[in-house]
Amino acid sequence: MRTGYFHSLVFALLTSASVAAIAAPAPKLETVPAPATMPVASSEMAAKVDLNKADVATLQRDLSGIGEAKAKAIVAYRDSNGSFASVDELLEVKGIGKTLLDKNRDRLEVN
């Protein structure tokens, strides 16, 4: 009879130890701060394009929706009509509409 009592006591002791081990709080993990990142300059933060000085390559590269043909048309308009008085005058160039101008307005300037 003592053997049965002893086995029951050992079983109870081991069961409570395993439950305590499972229910114990997990150790805190050491948190490592994220590395500092430098903001990347977006096209909106980049230098503005001066319609009176930009060449075909600059217009193509820095403006959205402006390919080689439209960039050449802008330069040709400037060559035949003189400097742009305002950004809105860009609407006079063939192939440039209000939507395209509005998309690029914050990237453009006239000096």
Q: pLDDT digit string (tens) for 43-63? A: 445 689 999 999 999 999 999
Query: Would 63 be classed as within a structural domain?
Result: yes
- Enumerate the β-bridge partners of residue 49: 108
Mean pLDDT in the chain? 84
If DSSP states are collapsed to H, E and C, what string results for 53-64? CCCHHHHHHHCC
For residue range 32-46, list pLDDT tens digits in order.
776 666 555 554 456
CA 2 to centroid of chain Cα atoms: 74
37 in a structural domain: no
Question: 109, exposed or middle or buried, with CB in 10 Å at 0-12, 13-18, 19+?
Answer: middle
Q: What's the whole-model pTM score? A: 0.59
Residue 74, domain CATH:
1.10.150.320
Distance CA 89, CA 69 (A): 18
Q: Is residue 38 part of a domain?
A: no
Task: Report the domain count for the chain.
Answer: 1
Q: For residue 1, what pLDDT is reported?
A: 59
